[in-house]
Structure 1
């Protein structure tokens, strides 16, 4: 019998989102126990998913709320007794934030940093004791980043608010890798994915001629899980992975990894 693996996926509220789709895919694995972190764990979609799969547990998760994060991890410990993989997927990129630096309200930067960077720190601090005690001896902390966070492959103007917050989140991943000898800490770009966030970006950046983002959620989820499954400290940690190489468009990345 396969060894039990316990996952926490944050940002699982939206049915067309990466988090919910990751939970749905992991739920099909007989050895997986999956905690779906969501602002409202009682939404019908998560209730239906938990009713269909006995290994799925919706759990209240509020980004950058230490007391809530502590309580969520305590519930995971009580129910499952361990935590092996954390997918830090919760994040924001508001439609109003696509503005040049000269016109960007400072509170927009603050809001995005609080969720996309500080929220990641709070999550790790709350989860670290249970996560680092994983019986696998190779716990994973995967941060869902973005190609916009690559300073080398600059994606263009008007995305400094979202991009800067994700650059900061990426730095935290590098720090976690360096500070924790057993932890597999990695950033993963999901590409330009057709979630609400990705589609908002397509509408805002009308120069692309697109009404929605080009990457299908199911393809992105498969790619993200391919990066997580079988990850090791030596080959996977402290790196900024592309969910899969793509080509043909200015926003694509043809490499397995994004340049920092």
Structure 2
């Protein structure tokens, strides 16, 4: 059986590293683990040594077109196609109310959280077309839900607005690429550097956000990926934002 070929951005830590770890334990996989500085990603190199020929750390900088295209050339040399691309790289580095949010923070969050997945798709689509059932997954967030996230008294303007925008991108991809399975996923409130920063920086998040483990989140994400890949055909309805536990998050 031909291996399933994955590309995961932001794979050097947190959810991305958890996904590489979980998927590498499977038979018949090739995983390209994207990181801004792969030479210093010791955990990825340890996995590459543990699973020779299955895990390939590669340089991949979110929203850098040249970097994305160079990474895809490397994937093409080794595997010749992609089956599943997971746009996982993202930032949440500022929490503040509307009047306190600098315009540069809005730009920074859109640059990584929206342009990053867009450029990743544009770069990987030529190789995804070689897959019998291409999947493009976006690690989004329930913070991008206008119904739920926007009404919370938290300082998630920059982060939440960028995730709402990437949710729009997910549905737009589904509408324009009829052979593509698009999977926007909310990973839950995960105990990563980002999750811990949110709890330490925002009073509402500190009081109300109960963090889950990376393993719990990744286990749910992998199940969603497996279900999308195992479906007989692409769903006729547009994708919904799905929580790691399978619950639908309203737009």
TM-score of the pair, normalised by structure 1: 0.89
Deviation at 1:238, TM superposition (A): 2.0
Deviation digits for residues 152-203 of structure 1 (CA, Å, limit 9, x no counterpart): 1233331110000111111100000000011011210011110000111111
Quote the offset at 1:46 in angstroms. Answer: 1.3
Give the 3-state SS of the residue equivalent to 2:182 in structure 1: strand
Q: What is residue 244 of structure 2 aligned with on the other side?
A: 243
Aligned to 1:83: 82
Distance in 2 (alpha carbons) for counterparts of 1:208 and 1:66: 34
Matched ranges for 1:25-44 at <5 A: 25-42=22-39, 43-44=41-42
- Determine the C-alpha separation between the residues in 1 that align with 2:160 and 2:179: 29
Secondary structure (helix, strand or coil) at the match of 1:46 reads: helix
Matched residue SS, 2:185: strand
| Shift in Å, 1:205 | 2.5
Deviations 1:183-238 (A, max 9, x none): 01121001111000011111122345559852111000000011110314217862
The Cα of 1:44 is off from its aligned counterpart by: 1.7
Selected match of 1:178 from 142, 153, 175 = 175
Task: Give the drift of 1:3.
Answer: 3.4
Q: In structure 1, the residue corresponding to 2:248 is in which secondary structure?
A: coil
Tell me: CA distance 1:27–1:102, structure 2 relative to 1, closer, same or farther (3 Å): same
1:152 is aligned to 2:147: yes
- Pairwise CA distance, 1:58: 0.2
Task: Give the secondary structure class of the aligned counterpart of 1:35.
Answer: strand
Match of 1:168 among 151, 165, 169: 165
Distance (whole Å) between structure 2 residues aligned to residue 83 and residue 30 of structure 1: 17
TM-score normalised to structure 2 length: 0.92
- Higher alpha-carbon deviation: 175-184 or 147-156: 147-156
Gaps of 5+ in 1: 246-255
| Root mean square deviation, CA, Å | 1.7
